[in-house]
């Protein structure tokens, strides 16, 4: 999966093309809303009974790490996306970029 300023890793799972495309769109949306010097990294790891997801955003304005877990990869990425969008609102309110 290629999204500029973003790295996505899947471990221990195989996603459908539909799920991969949906995650790619979510990540592209986050990258577009992030400061221009940002880099996002998403890791999805299949556990015994659930999916662990880790999202980090790094820019000259700061670094933030998020972690969620659930049973469906796309729903977990949506939760992480919400957390990051909330942080971006704070950055914008403080005019940090």
Would the pLDDT of 1 be above 70? no
- What global pTM score does this model have? 0.85
Give yes or no for a contact between 91 and 35, defined as CB atoms under 8 angstroms apart: yes
Mean pLDDT in residue range 52-75: 91
Closest CA to 52 of 72, 23, 33: 72
d(C-alpha 42, C-alpha 22), whole Å: 14
Assign 91 a pLDDT band (cuts: 50, 70, 90). Answer: confident
Mean pLDDT in residue range 57-73: 90
């Amino acid at each position: 999966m290629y999204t500029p300023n973003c790295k996505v890793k899947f471990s221990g799972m195989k996603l459908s093309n539909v799920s991969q495309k949906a995650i790619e769109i979510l990540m592209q949306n986050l990258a577009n809303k992030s400061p221009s010097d940002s880099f996002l990294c998403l890791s999805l790891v299949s556990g015994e009974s659930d999916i662990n997801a880790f999202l980090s955003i790094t820019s000259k304005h700061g670094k933030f790490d998020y972690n969620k877990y659930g049973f469906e990869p796309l729903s977990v990425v949506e939760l992480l996306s919400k957390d990051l969008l909330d942080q971006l609102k704070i950055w914008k309110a403080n005019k940090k970029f």
